[in-house]
Structure 1
């Protein structure tokens, strides 16, 4: 899964969690090759409703999340990832999955590879 060209590992945690600056497991950072876009960036700030679809599509494309790839979404405990899963479904993505173990599983397992740019 890691580094495969037809799969996007999509981390929807905060940039601080992704970078390993905010550590909520034994290790901080992210799954190698994962791209990051915080889950709430697809919502309006004033009222928690979705931004226009065109704006969401641009955010996703900028992050490298495209419909031609299988998208594996994760966060810390799969709650934020579930929100993004629904968002992607509404946006027409079909080849999706949520990594249910998310970072709480990955970051606490000493045998999994981690990218920690901090």
Structure 2
């Protein structure tokens, strides 16, 4: 059951009404691919929702692995988010300015570490600006607070579990990358990766879940149709994957809106799978 006190999505009007609540803490999770040639930190410094703190998915991550923005250890995560002023009683609202990349990742990450008091701003920073709501360039300091992190292993799938899933087909694997990357007709944005997809996986480009005009998630009925069109049985568990485990969380959030709170994300995603020589790859 979902905790209705902390909905997965809130809109800009709700946030405008609640942002002065000391229990509501806003984080800007904006992240851009290199080809987009945008600097998330610089954009945050220029304009952000007043009182927001910047959540850097490349800093609050496991620095010991060469794979990008992998989940850190719970203790490290707890220390880093505590420095942002987040405590276990905080209701976090994550937003970004890039089609839920990576506010959905932050939403999933907090849930992995046992924190369900997390929502995503539907429509992101664009929806906030469209309403003419105030923005700020000021850095608002917050006192460090203690945060205790748990860990939900069922929400994370690793390489060996993904290998097992491809052979036993007990879990549906859904890839959030573009159709061209999935089929292998488009090159990967990161050098050294093979093209194609994990055998047996299905494809649902994450941007199809988002309305192009409002930048918000599509209706529940439309989302259900998209997952079914991709060949997903909504009554069976799903593991979501993508390039680096970021947009996979958009698929997980979409499934959560449909009542599936158990979607796992393959953290290493295609950067890990496609970067190895001992993992099978399909094209087409």
Q: TM-score, normalised by structure 2?
A: 0.40
Residue number in structure 1 paired with 2:128: none
Other structure's SS at 1:67 match: coil
Residue 3 of structure 1: how far off its partner (Å): 4.9
Q: How does 1:1-118 map to 2 (within 5 A)?
A: 1-24=165-188, 25-117=192-284
**8 Å contact 1:69–1:95 — kept in the other structure?**
no
Task: Spell out, residue by residue over 1:69-111, the C-alpha distance to the aligned partner (whole angstroms, 9 max, x if none).
Answer: 1201000011100121112112111331000000000000010
Task: Spell out, residue by residue over 1:56-77, the C-alpha distance to the aligned partner (whole angstroms, 9 max, x if none).
Answer: 1011011122232120100001
In 1, Cα distance between the equivalents of 2:274 and 2:169? 23
Flag as ranges the 4+ runs of structure 1 deviating above 3 A. Answer: 3-6
In 2, Cα distance between the equivalents of 1:16 and 1:26? 14
Other structure's SS at 2:199 match: coil
Any unmatched runs of 5+ in structure 2? 1-164
In 2, Cα distance between the equivalents of 1:99 and 1:66? 19
Alignment size in residue pairs: 117
**8 Å contact 1:13–1:75 — kept in the other structure?**
yes
Any unmatched runs of 5+ in structure 1? none
Q: Which has the larger radius of gyration?
A: 2
What's the RMSD between the two structures over aligned residues?
1.3
Residue 43 of structure 1: how far off its partner (Å): 0.9
Q: Tell which has more relative contact order, 1 or 2 (C-alpha 8 A, sep 6+).
A: 1
In 2, Cα distance between the equivalents of 1:64 and 1:23? 25
